[in-house]
Amino acid sequence: MSVWMARPAAAVLLVLVGIAPSSAKPYEVRCKEPLPVFTLGEKSNPTKAQEAALCTCIWENLGSWERRASEKIAAGKEDEVSWMHKRAFPARFGAAVEKCGGMKL
């Protein structure tokens, strides 16, 4: 799973000799709720109903500051989110995805 800022600024690339890279792309989730676009695993293929239920569950499991941060991030206004919330949001969002069963879809 990845969230808008789940990747560090300096990424580390690990290349394993003899193993072909996967051509599968992670499933991209776009919610009607004001959540940032995020991805599930490469083998994820939820139905539209499962995706909608996941989005609703995530939204319901975010607290007030997390919802405000999510709304701004989803609207492309990351610069309006405090550095503290930018740092904390990915972990909180990821916990909500896991609690809502997103890792099993």
Q: Assess if residue 3 is contained within a domain.
A: no
pLDDT tens digits for range 52-103: 999 999 999 999 999 999 999 999 999 999 999 999 999 999 999 999 999 9
How many Å apart are CA 75 and CA 7, to the nearest integer? Answer: 19
Helix, strand, or coil here: 38?
strand
Q: Residues near 53 by Cβ (< 8 Å), separated by ≥ 6?
A: 100
Q: Assess if residue 39 is contained within a domain.
A: yes
Q: What's the half-sphere exposure (Cβ side, CA atoms, 13 Å) at 42?
A: 5
Structural domain containing residue 37:
28-104
What global pTM score does this model have?
Answer: 0.78
Contact (Cβ atoms closer than 8 angstroms) between residue 34 and residue 22 = no
Structure tokens given for 50: 């499962």
Q: Assess if residue 44 is contained within a domain.
A: yes
Contact (Cβ atoms closer than 8 angstroms) between residue 86 and residue 70 = no
Residue 3 binned pLDDT confidence (cut-offs 50, 70, 90) = low
Q: Assess if residue 72 is contained within a domain.
A: yes
Q: How many domains does the chain have?
A: 1
Q: Assess if residue 65 is contained within a domain.
A: yes
Q: Assess if residue 6 is contained within a domain.
A: no
- For position 10, what pLDDT does the model report? 38
Q: Any idea which residue has 């789940």 for tokens?
A: 6
User: Per DSSP, what are the bridge partners of residue 28?
Assistant: 39
- Compute the radius of gyration of the chain from its Cα atoms: 15
